[in-house]
Chain A
């Protein structure tokens, strides 16, 4: 088990370096740099050349690329990702202030999707071929293929503009700071509904269909027949035997989903003005804000690697064969 873990950890560290080098090279090879962007945004009214040179020097943009990477890495090791070129605030601070919003929204969406999707998937697995199950499959495929910006605008049009039951955009009302704690909670909840629905519906479809297909596979296996033969009820078979054995693929899905908790969705965040990581990433790329892009890449990479590490560990815990395989 220890060797297995160490090996996984080493892979993770190597992958991490690979990701940062690749991102670093990629963003620096996209045409345009922060200065030309800044000139564009200020309407080309002219930044004195000495100021341009000073800014380039300040952010080491005037040095060779490998050296720039070394500068960046030196800071990154101590969790110092530098300051944003846009407003010179620390990248760490900029990311930290957006993270809760994205995390909140995605967590709600994830919980909703799994708490609705997995039971539906289980039900579908035991009712495979049933008319309602077939219809729901078609329904889920339709749901999955709806573009989220369209759904978002539709939700807005009906629930916010036409019937005015939910807030249109933003994360809180104008008088949020004068509310009681309970009112604040209600206010926040009301604001999260529409973006959460937009984030959830496609995930829900994936969850339901994924659970269905993995459980269906397990149900066909011999030990289920054996369990039934010994007289266990349908529910017991489903939960105690089938679902537990279908956990492996679900762990994989979890490993894939966790990174999404912190990598925001540009479309949903933009339409609902949900001020999170997605918008920050988008702005950072448009403004060629290299330090912020790198900071966000590191954050996403670390969470992704941790999640897959976690999935690997869970595999080993859930299935002894994984551990034994290492020793062989």
Chain B
């Protein structure tokens, strides 16, 4: 008798819980057929944030997710096109002085911020000064504007701005993609670092409806947008940390796009239930994996040893077995789709016998018959750092370990999380590490291979590579404005680095993505994938958008049906 109220309560919970949403299920057969060739306006796109964004302040962007959101809200001075070449953004056109130090940008005269105020040249100057000011912590852009001459940079009139640098840099123009212009009157009031984490005023095609920290960011298309209006009315970014949850949401239609782990991607694209609704795509982005060799280690200082180590890595097996053919072997510091890539430089061949011979020539012999080569009484052994949280990182490290053991080299794998590893790298306190780089649109590798760019001086040459010829070429190429001369220099640099093997280059891994088939106009660029180029995600549209397109927050099931 006493348990009745409990049962009643449980029943109530069930009733409430099982009551279905009241929005009718759309997508029934009575809808007219869709003309897929003609972009349609309206609809809601639901995108994924693997991690919540840390800020909406476009100058303090830290992660790629911060950037995903900022790209809808702000306009950079220049955009990149599909080939990652600069095209007009907020600036309609520009002139660069012959000495390469002065940039004059002519701003779009119709451009306005989301609060209705026109964009003025003074806002661009303000934004640049903010980037140059170390207190802003503009980590992504600060370095690129380190040589900005703040005193000489000025607004010539309301729509013309003159930007002056102290150093001529070939990559400078491209770096204006990070100059997401903010309205001075709004951002100079209040605490710059604290007050713009959850609010934003920009000149982009969308405005912020709300940011619910830890959960979602909701954006709506601006009615008064000055440029070419995008098609999609509402963009919702959902924070979904878990890959399995994201995949389920994709399958169910609650989510329109997500990156997908390599093994899941291989499995799901052969699953008819998934392919019915999801378009599985992959593309190469500007990144590569490599083993870094610390040249402060006396063993690894010898480039013959480094080359021998490279010859121990069966790159074909890595590509085929670990990545099922969805990665490609690297021959040097440039990826195959970059103009700086020299196709005549070969990938280091897998050749254990050759590696053994090279080590013998370098004086390494197994004098005490313990299976490990030695020289001057010291064994040929070192630690290899691999990252926790990445299955393939461990697999590659283990493969390297067993292959190197076969030629008499003892490798001890040390697993570390990213934060710990980076600290060790920056202190130079390591032997070797399996790592990856995400590269910029411009291929300049100065910060990672120039001998002066050691961690102690703010650079990322944590392998302490030093070659005077390479130094000279990198310095020259950085300042060379003629693209064809610059290309020749990087082709030569590619040869030198491949010869010296400061890294053992492993693979460029393609990014795997799943996109709901109702999303149209999805294209990838040469190196940046779907996003961060123009039009990129701003060119997407949704087949048969439905519901009231004026609404900032659309019905829950419209995304799902």
A interface residues, Cβ below 8 angstroms from B: 30-33, 36-51, 54-55, 86-89, 97-98, 115-116, 119, 153, 156-157, 160-161, 164-166, 168-171, 173-178, 183, 185-186, 189-190, 193, 270-273, 275, 279-280, 283, 286-288
Q: How far is the CA of A173 from the CA of B18 in the complex (A)?
A: 15
In the complex, chain B residues whose CB is within 8 Å of the CB of A48 = 134, 142-143, 146, 458
Would you give the 0/1 interface string for B46-86, flagging 1 where the beta carbon is closer than 8 Å to chain A?
A: 10000100110000001100000000000000000000000
In the complex, chain A residues whose CB is within 8 Å of the CB of B17 = 166, 189-190, 193
From known contacts A175-B556, A279-B241, infer whether A39 and B54 are also in contact, taking CB-CB under 8 Å: no
What 10 pairs across the A-B complex have the smallest Cβ distances? A32-B419, A173-B556, A37-B419, A275-B214, A36-B423, A31-B420, A32-B420, A40-B418, A40-B422, A174-B556
Q: How far is the CA of A178 from the CA of B554 in the complex (A)?
A: 9
Q: How far is the CA of A263 from the CA of B238 in the complex (A)?
A: 24
Chain B 527-561 residues near chain A, CB threshold 8 A: 551, 553-556, 559
* 13 pairs from A and B in contact (CB 8 Å cutoff): A37-B422, A44-B422, A48-B146, A87-B55, A115-B6, A161-B248, A166-B17, A168-B249, A185-B16, A186-B19, A271-B245, A272-B245, A273-B215
In the complex, chain A residues whose CB is within 8 Å of the CB of B142 = 47-48, 51
Q: How far is the CA of A229 from the CA of B460 in the complex (A)?
A: 85
Q: Does B3 contact A (CB under 8 A)?
A: yes
Distance from A243 Cβ to chain B, minimum over Cβ atoms (Å): 12
Q: Is the CB–CB distance between B554 and A175 below 8 Å?
A: yes
Q: How far is the CA of A174 from the CA of B447 in the complex (A)?
A: 44
Q: Is the CB–CB distance between A174 and B459 below 8 Å?
A: no
Chain B 394-421 residues near chain A, CB threshold 8 A: 416-421
Q: Is the CB–CB distance between A47 and B139 below 8 Å?
A: yes
Residue of A nearest to B215 (CB): A275
Q: How far is the CA of A5 from the CA of B280 in the complex (A)?
A: 64
Q: How far is the CA of A193 from the CA of B14 in the complex (A)?
A: 9
In the complex, chain A residues whose CB is within 8 Å of the CB of B9 = 115
From known contacts A42-B139, A45-B140, A169-B240, infer whether A37 and B249 are also in contact, taking CB-CB under 8 Å: no
Q: How far is the CA of A254 from the CA of B493 in the complex (A)?
A: 68
In the complex, chain B residues whose CB is within 8 Å of the CB of A169 = 240, 245, 248-249
**Given A43-B438, A177-B553, 13 extra CB contacts under 8 A:** A32-B423, A33-B423, A38-B139, A40-B422, A41-B418, A45-B440, A46-B143, A164-B252, A168-B252, A190-B18, A271-B242, A271-B245, A273-B245
Distance from B413 Cβ to chain A, minimum over Cβ atoms (Å): 17
Residue of B6, B54, B239, B249 near A87 (CB, 8 A) is B54
Q: Does B197 contact A (CB under 8 A)?
A: yes
Q: Does B365 contact A (CB under 8 A)?
A: no
Q: Is the CB–CB distance between A54 and B134 below 8 Å?
A: yes
Q: Is the CB–CB distance between B458 and A171 below 8 Å?
A: no
Residue of A nearest to B55 (CB): A87
Q: Is the CB–CB distance between B245 and A45 below 8 Å?
A: no
Q: Is the CB–CB distance between A273 and B241 below 8 Å?
A: yes
B interface residues, Cβ below 8 angstroms from A: 3, 6, 9, 13, 16-23, 44, 46, 51, 54-55, 62-63, 134-135, 137, 139-140, 142-143, 146, 193-194, 197, 213-215, 236, 238-242, 244-245, 248-249, 251-252, 254, 416-424, 426, 438, 440, 447, 457-460, 551, 553-556, 559
In the complex, chain B residues whose CB is within 8 Å of the CB of A46 = 139, 143, 447, 458-460
In the complex, chain A residues whose CB is within 8 Å of the CB of B46 = 174
Q: Is the CB–CB distance between A273 and B248 below 8 Å?
A: no
Residue of B13, B244, B458 near A189 (CB, 8 A) is B13
Q: Is the CB–CB distance between B423 and A156 below 8 Å?
A: no
Residue of B nearest to A55 (CB): B137
In the complex, chain B residues whose CB is within 8 Å of the CB of A186 = 16, 19
Q: Is the CB–CB distance between A156 and B417 below 8 Å?
A: no
In the complex, chain B residues whose CB is within 8 Å of the CB of A168 = 245, 248-249, 252, 254
Residue of A nearest to B448 (CB): A44
Q: Is the CB–CB distance between A174 and B135 below 8 Å?
A: no
Q: How far is the CA of A164 from the CA of B253 in the complex (A)?
A: 11
Q: Is the CB–CB distance between B197 and A87 below 8 Å?
A: yes
Q: How far is the CA of A70 from the CA of B508 in the complex (A)?
A: 48
Distance from A34 Cβ to chain B, minimum over Cβ atoms (Å): 8
Distance from A290 Cβ to chain B, minimum over Cβ atoms (Å): 13
Q: Is the CB–CB distance between B426 and A156 below 8 Å?
A: no
In the complex, chain A residues whose CB is within 8 Å of the CB of B249 = 168-169
Residue of A45, A49, A88, A170 near B139 (CB, 8 A) is A45
Distance from B430 Cβ to chain A, minimum over Cβ atoms (Å): 12
Residue of A nearest to B146 (CB): A48
Q: Is the CB–CB distance between A165 and B18 below 8 Å?
A: yes
